Structure 1
Amino acid sequence: MNDQPAASGTPASGGVRIAVDAMGGDHGPAEIVPGALDHAGAHPEDQVLLIGLEAAIRAAAGTLPPNATIVPASQVIEMHEHPALALREKRDASILVASDLVRRGEADALITAGHTGAAMAAAILRIGRLPGVDRPALAVQMIRTGAPFVLLDIGANPDSTAENLAQYARMGAIFAERVLGIPEPRVALLSIGEEKGKGDLRIQRATELLDASGLRFVGNVEGKDVTGDLADVVVTDAVTGNVVLKFFEGLSTFIFDLFRDEFRRSLRGRLAYLLLRPGIARIRDVFDYEKAGGSPLLGVRGAVIITHGRAKRRMIAFGLGVAAETARTGVPALIEEALREDAARLDAAGAGAEGRAEETTLDPEDTP
């Protein structure tokens, strides 16, 4: 077999091949396999590759549909293990086998609910970065009224440069347009003030790069505005992005718990709940994070989706849908092409600046 990374182009046909780490997450095959088979049943054009311990997968799957196949892997990286050490010691781990399928071009996409650090390391080391990508970024769909927005980075790179932020913006915009269907997505930097360029030196430099990028850059957004209709892609470093994500999850849980306690407190509260139940159901639907499916790792040679460790059957099925759409629309190839164009534009701008500098330093006697 060819051990070189597979080309990052769009799959030749409408169907895609999805490598599923069937052993990852808190629930393992008991939830992941049924969720993957739900996608296989709803999308017979796609091929679902279930990677892991064959006996455990068969026990969870029962009779496999024609478009689902088991790919054996004898080892599992547990959630408590150190990712780098586990990847070295467990060469037949399910996440490594899945990554190698993408690397060899035998799968177009990968999804895992397992160890996030191990998944990112396997994707970067086995599948590889796209040409021109300095650091891949982990993105997430965040809820708001209407279409979700994309927040990145949420966990891949705690120390991001201005150039990294500009790359995240480009990759996030492509994902928002191709997978979420948002035409000409608006891009913003998350900062301490809404005025364009307000923030530290990194934000100021990123602002300059994004102003010249050709993206629909709208400047800064503050934390209070991320759920408003101000931007479709919000860019930040991994520390800030992860804090925003976890705070959002905690706050929404806290608010729903408050409502639940109030409704249960008295007969009047229970009657109020009966009256408000249709509206509450609509709000719950807005806050239904399972529909996001998972977080794409943007900037690697393939569609890699890392979903929540607590993901159950329904969220796994949505995650396969995101993985399939990311591969089907050729997001990795589009990112590669866009970054190549960005590099060419920066090179041309640099050459132009050097030429102008040489003109200004010519000796007067050298001029005609």
Structure 2
Amino acid sequence: MREPGTARIAVDLLGGDQAPAVVVDGALRACQADPALQLLLVGPVEAADAVLAALGPADRGRVCAVAAPTGPHAQDRDVSSVESGVRSAVLAVAQGLADAVVSAGNTGATVTSAALGLGRWPGVRRPALTAVLPTAAGRIVLLDVGSSVDPDETTLAMHARLGAAYASVVHGVAAPRVGLLTIGTERGKGDRLRRAVPAVLAALDLPAGGSYAGLVEGNDVVTGAPADVVVADGFTGNVLLKGLETAYALLGAPNPGEVPPRAAVLLGVGGTVVVCHGAASGADIAAGIGFAAALHRRAAVPAIADLIIGPEAPATDRKTPDPQSARGGS
């Protein structure tokens, strides 16, 4: 029987620019920081052995290795080998062996593996990578930040609902205000999609008493005043997120000591999936693992699903990931 508060996190050892070394470092940091954490390290067994060797005897029982198909050598990180790690990590959640997935690998591979392996919520055509940024007025939820680079009106409307539910469940925001990111706040600004979506969002029934707050610009994301949630396509959201991450690292965040976490949660699939930045450090990976554990312990993803699709609704389009299914993305 599991101890209360235990979180079992499947960690993709092959995900990230400096994997597996940086992921091993992050996994070790996370395990040492959280005594109720259990890790399934998915990838080369020798990399998982490095974590076990660094832990004391009392902690080694909290970590186990799950072999994933790889190239003939540990350093052979070709595309199929790298993607096999996240597919196997997702499968561990689908089979009930883990409570959440953490990967710093290819975004497209992670999103596709999660959608196929865990299923999408009814009404969700494209899941949304959801990040939280520090602002001068607190925190702001930004989505999508890399999953759907060419969405349509229906997708952005669903992402608005996902963002409002996330702000309510995770950050306790009452009646979240949802804004649309564009190049100006005057009516008619932006491309064809951005000109069409405001009417859709204004008529939308947003969860948690949310409301459409109108158009916002990039500078509004830093001040945080106009909205609690900002909706963007995945291309623009990713560019904005990485730009702000770098600016805050060089110049300091609006709130001293608070920097953007290099991890985002994937909303709209039937499980907890956290995606870390490809250039994440060991500390970033550890933070991503801690984030996934916190989401699981709070049952945040099921609570968000309840607001979007109602309780007891099953995920859809669920399939077992196959070797060729997780291609694409950034």
The TM-score with structure 2 as length reference comes to 0.78
1:328 corresponds in structure 2 to 297
Q: After TM superposition, where is structure 1 displaced by more than 6 Å over at least 4 residues in a row?
A: 76-80, 280-284
Say if 2:229 is the partner of 1:233: yes
Partner residue of 2:97? 106
Give the AA of the match of 1:54: V
**Residue 43 of structure 1 aligns with which residue?**
34
Give CA-to-partner distance per residue, 1:116-143, whole Å, 9 cap, x none.
2211121112222122312101122223
RMSD: 3.3
Of 266, 272, 280, which aligns to 1:311? Answer: 280
Give the match's secondary structure for 2:138.
coil
Aligned residue for 1:24, secondary structure, equals: coil
Aligned to 1:55: 46
1:147 Cα deviation from its structure 2 partner: 3.3
Is 1:194 equivalent to 2:181 in the alignment? no
Are 2:176 and 1:204 equivalent residues in the alignment? Answer: no
SS of the equivalent of 1:69 reads: strand
Q: 1:103–1:127: 8 Å Cα contact kept in structure 2?
A: yes
Contact 1:172 1:233 in 2 (8 A): yes
Q: Structure 1 residue 118 and structure 2 residue 109: aligned?
A: yes
2:65 alignment partner, SS class: strand
1:63-98 Cα distance to aligned partner (Å, 9 max, x none): 44232222222327999966xxx3xxx599221110
Are the structure 2 counterparts of residues 91 and 320 from structure 1 closer, same or farther at C-alpha, using a change threshold of 3 Å? closer
Structure 1 or 2: larger helix share? Answer: 1
Indicate which of 239, 243, 251 corresponds to 1:243.
239
- The equivalent of 1:261 in structure 2 is none
Distance 1:67 1:293, change over 3 A: farther
Matched, 1:285 2:257: yes
Moved more, 212-221 or 222-231: 212-221
Q: Could you tell me how far apart the structure 2 residues matched to 1:307 and 1:186 are?
A: 26
Deviating more after overlay: 104-113 vs 244-253? 244-253
The alpha-carbon distance between structure 1 residues 249 and 282, as it changes in their structure 2 partners (threshold 3 A), is: closer
Q: Percent identity?
A: 38
Matched ranges for 1:145-156 at <5 A: 145=136, 147-156=138-147
Shift of 1:24: 1.7
The structure with the largest alpha-carbon Rg is: 1
Alignment partners' CA distance in 1, 2:304 and 2:17: 32
- Whether the 8 Å contact between 1:35 and 1:315 is mirrored in structure 2 is yes
Matched, 1:160 2:148: no
Residue identity matched to 2:236 = T
Distance 1:121 1:162 in 2: 21
Aligned length: 300
**By how many angstroms is 1:61 displaced?**
4.1
Contact 1:22-1:52 within 8 A present in 2 as well? yes
Q: Residues 23 and 123 of structure 1: is their aligned pair in 2 closer, same or farther, counting only changes over 3 Å?
A: same
What's 1:217 paired with?
212
For the pair 1:26 / 2:14, whether they are aligned, the reply is: no
TM-score norm. by structure 1 comes to: 0.71
What amino acid sits opposite 2:289 in the alignment?
A: L
**Any idea what SS the aligned residue of 2:212 has?**
strand
Q: CA deviation at 1:305?
A: 0.8
- CA change 1:156–1:32 in 2 (3 A) is same
Q: Is the 8 A contact 1:113 1:306 kept in 2?
A: yes
How many angstroms does 1:110 deviate by? 0.4
Secondary structure of 1:227 counterpart: helix
Give the corresponding residue for 1:72. 67
Partner Cα separation in structure 2 for residue 340 and residue 79 of structure 1:
42
Measure, in 2, the Cα distance between the counterparts of 1:244 and 1:41: 33
Match of 2:269 among 288, 294, 300: 300
Which deviates further from its counterpart, 51-60 or 201-210?
A: 201-210
1:15-45 Cα deviation digits (max 9, x unpaired) = 2211001222122232212322322232222
**Residue of 125, 137, 151 corresponding to 1:134:** 125
Task: Flag the 1:186–1:321 CA change in 2: closer, same or farther, 3 A.
Answer: farther
Bigger CA drift: 299-308 or 326-335? Answer: 326-335
Q: Larger deviation: 147-156 or 137-146?
A: 137-146
Q: Unpaired runs of 5+ in structure 2?
A: 312-330
Select the structure with the greater relative contact order (CA < 8 A; seq sep ≥ 6): 2
Task: Please state how far the C-alpha of 1:284 moved relative to its aligned partner.
Answer: 6.8
Aligned letter for 1:296?
V
